[in-house]
Amino acid sequence: MTELRVLIDRDAIAKRVAEMAANITHDYAGQQVILVGVLKGSAIFLADLARQVKLDATFDFIGVSSYGNRPSPSQELKSGWDSTGEVKLTKDVDQSMKDKNVIVVEDILDTGLTLNYLLRVLRQRKPRTLRVAALLDKPSRRIKNVRTDYVGFHIPNEFVVGYGLDYAERYRNLKDVCILQLPPEST
């Protein structure tokens, strides 16, 4: 049977998201920011973060996918995936980023391939500042070095779902971040 084990509960998430929002509010005091959510995993994090950021803020969304099929979570944890780093844009932002304070809002930083690609794309748009807010970070899996400015939690090398994160599009609506353990036959 597929098993879910709570790793970070809703109260801990809410507390940490409020702290991250306070840091962002402090760092950009008196300035405008664009929060760019990476679809779809960041949607819930962005919604909670944005409501606590006390700044003149707008939203945008960007979509990416990786070439090739992602293996099952357990396989992925063993051997990684897409080490070529080939990521493609499936949805671009709707507004100009030129001379703006852009904060990329991401659910989880894993190998770093996605954010590395996104930051390269967004840097070409000549923003005034470009920073990253990631709810979760799995540092042990890093392939590409990515500078993160606001990180919620460092987590161990486990496949997690909930609070926006999915496995095959499921579990995004869980209130807690949970470790997903699949039955042996699905690995």
The residues that are catalytic are 110
Give me the DSSP letters along the chain: --EEEEEE-HHHHHHHHHHHHHHHHHHTTT-EEEEEEEETTTHHHHHHHHHH--SEEEEEEEEEEESS----HHHHHHH-S-TT--EEEEE--SS--TT-EEEEEEEEESSSHHHHHHHHHHHTT--SEEEEEEEEE-GGG-SS----SEEEEE--S--EEBTTB-BTTBSTT-SSEEEEE--GGG-
By C-beta, is 48 or 107 nearer to ligand IMP?
107
Would you count residue 112 as binding ligand IMP (CB under 6 A)?
Answer: yes
159 binding ligand IMP? (CB under 6 A): yes
Residues 6+ apart with CB under 8 A from 147: 132
The binding track of 9-48 with respect to ligand IMP, each residue x by CB under 6 A or -, is: -----------------------------x--x-------
Asked whether position 111 contacts ligand IMP by CB under 6 A, the answer is yes
For the window 60-99, what string marks contact with ligand IMP as x by the rule CB under 6 A? ----------------------------------------
Window 113-132: residues binding ligand IMP (CB under 6 A): 113-115
Q: Give least dist CB 14 to ligand IMP, A.
A: 20
Query: Minimum Å distance from CB 184 to ligand IMP?
Result: 19
Binding site for ligand IMP (CB under 6 A): 38, 41, 106-115, 159-161, 165
